[in-house]
Structures are given as structure tokens and as C-alpha cells.
Amino acid sequence: MISRITRFSLATFIAAAIGFSPIAVMAADPAPAVPAAAPAAAPTDKAAEKKANKKAKKENKADKKAKKKSKKKSKAATNTAAQ
């Protein structure tokens, strides 16, 4: 028969092993989870910024094109009116 002290010691040892196992896994993990999430957010910000810049350039290009077209039309209208 196993004595009460032995049984209690064995239960304590098992409980301690179960309690320390997550700590041992975290200690063995080479890259912590929290800092890894922070750099992942940065590329998203860069991508959004890049997309916004691209959209702004597209709008500027469209404005320039519209101005150029209207200038051509007014010039053509002036030429036909002068003739």
C-alpha cells in the first residue's frame, strides 16, 4: 500500500509538472507572440499609405487630363469662331 505522504507527494509533483509545463513551452518559444504581431501591422499601414498615394496620383492625372481636354476644346472653338 502507498502511504498517505507518498500519495500526497506524488500528487504534488504531478500538479507542479502540469503547472510548469506552459511556462516551459513559453520559455522554449524563440519568438514571443506579442512583438511578432506589432511588425505585422506596419506593412498593412504601408500598404494602405501606398494605396492612398496611388489613388491621389490617379486623381491628379485625371484632373490634368480634363484640363488639357477642355483647353483643347476651347482652343478649337476659338479657331472655328475666328474663321
Domain assignment of residue 20, given as a range: 4-29+48-82
> What is residue 57's predicted lDDT score, i.e. its pLDDT?
92
Tell me the HSE value of 9 on the side-chain side, using a 13 A CA sphere: 5
**Within-domain flag for 39:** no
**Within-domain flag for 24:** yes
Report pTM.
Answer: 0.39
Number of structural domains, the chain?
1
**Within-domain flag for 73:** yes
Q: What is the pLDDT of residues 26-61, one digit of tens each?
A: 666 666 555 555 555 566 788 888 888 999 999 999
Q: Quote the DSSP letter at residue 3.
A: -
> What is residue 16's predicted lDDT score, i.e. its pLDDT?
86
**Within-domain flag for 65:** yes
**Within-domain flag for 8:** yes
Rounded CA-CA distance 46/50 in Å is: 6
